[in-house]
Each structure stands twice: as C-alpha cells, then as structure tokens.
Structure 1
Amino acid sequence: MATIQQVAEAFSAHRFREVYDFFHPDIQWILVGAAKLEGRDQVVAACEGSLQELARTTTQFLRFKTAAGPEVVAVDAIARYVDTKWKSTFVSSCDIYEFTQGALTKITTYTVEVDSSAVK
C-alpha cells in the first residue's frame, strides 16, 4: 500500500498510471488559470493525454521537494522538457494533493514556464 506522499510524488513525476487506483470517483483536478476537471474519467483522460505528449519529450527534474501532512501533500518541482527537435522548456510547478481516507480527492496545480537562467 502506497503512502499519500508516494501517490503524490508519482503523480507529480508523471507516473500517472501508478496512482489511478487511488483516485476518488469524484476527484477534482484544478489547473489554475487553465481548467477544472471533475470526476475520475476526466482526470484519467487528461493524464493519458499528457502521457501521449510526454512520449515525445525527455523530462529531467531539476528540483523535486515534498511537504507532507496527514491528509495533504505538496510537491514543488522544476522540470526541463526536451522535445524531439532538442528544444528545451523549463517549467516550475506546485501540486497540492488532498486525500480523504487514503483516496485522492483533489489536486490543485500551479505551473509557469520559466527562463533557464531562473533555474538554480
């Protein structure tokens, strides 16, 4: 049985399929400034779409910090994505995960593309 911290870290590391079984049926994923996904089907579909996009890139995490409490986990990350044309993109993100009795009920994601000079 995975801990809530392990579930959160797997999701933030784009290992979505490892954590689908932990999704509450009424899970919400709020992509701040972009979208609000509701229900397991919508969230899984978005994850699968992300995996298709990520299949064409290489991901390197330059920062991956986790803070965990009894029902909430936050993951602060900076990732470098390199596409098939060797174009690099740096993204800073913070995911906040909320759990109820071990089930993932809500994800709030903040992301912003950053300049490589901001990455330390």
Structure 2
Amino acid sequence: MATILQVAEAFSAHRFSEVYPFLHPEVTWTLVGAARLEGREQVVQACETALGQLAQTTSQVLRFKTVANADAVVIDTVTRYVDKKWQSSFVSACDIFEFTQGHLTAITSYTQEVDSSILG
C-alpha cells in the first residue's frame, strides 16, 4: 500500500492513475480562484482532462519540495511547460493534500504562471 507521501507526490507529478484508488468517494478539490470539485467522479474527470491537455506539451520540473505529517502533505512545484509551437510557460503550484485513514479527502491547489526571470 502506498504511503500518503507517495500518493501526494504521484498527484503533483500528474501520475493521476496511481492516485485514483486512494480517492475518498467524497473527496473535494479546490482550485483556488477557479473551481471546487466535489466527489471522486468530478476529480477523476478533471484529472483525465488535465492529462489530455498535458499530452500536448512537454514538461520539466524545476522544483519539487515536500512537507508532510501524519495526515497531510504539502508539495511546492515549479514546472516549465513547452507546447507544440515551442512556446514555454513556467507554472508555480502548491498542492495541499489531506488524508483520513489513508484516503485522500481534500486537495487545495494554488497555481500561478510566473515569469522565468524570478526563478533565479
């Protein structure tokens, strides 16, 4: 059985199929400033849509930092995405994962496109 850290890392790395077995039926995913998804079906559908969009790009993870305790994991990432027209964008994201008895019950995601010059 995967640990909560492994589940959270798989989600933030867009390996969603590894996460599906751990989703609580009433999981919520808050995409701050954009949407709130409720229930396993909505979360899986959003993940599959994201995978379709990601298939049109290549990505390079520039930062992947994790903080965890017994029932929560926070992952801070910066990823460079390049589309088929060779246009690149940099996205900073912070995902907060909450678990209950090994099931992922809540996700809160903060994402922001950033200028590459601030990445140092």
Q: Which range, TM-score by smaller chain? A: over 0.9
Identity percentage over the alignment? 67
Q: Structure 1: any 5+ residue segments left out of the alignment?
A: none
| 1:70-119 CA-partner distances (Å, limit 9, x unpaired) | 00000000000000111000000000000000000000000000001011
Q: Distance in 1 between matches of 2:53 and 2:11?
A: 16
Matches within 5 A, 1:70-89: 70-89=70-89
Q: Name the structure 2 match of 1:99.
A: 99
Q: Name the structure 1 match of 2:6.
A: 6
RMSD: 0.5
Quick one: which amino acid aligns to residue 41 of structure 2? Answer: D
Quick one: which amino acid aligns to residue 111 of structure 1? Answer: T
Q: Name the structure 1 match of 2:61.
A: 61
| 1:28-85 CA-partner distances (Å, limit 9, x unpaired) | 0000000000000000000000000000000110000000100000000000000011
Asked whether 1:25 is paired with 2:31, we answer no
Q: Name the structure 2 match of 1:16.
A: 16
Q: Secondary structure at 1:98's aligned position in 2?
A: strand
> Which TM-score applies when normalising by structure 1?
0.99
Q: Distance in 2 between matches of 1:116 and 1:97?
A: 27
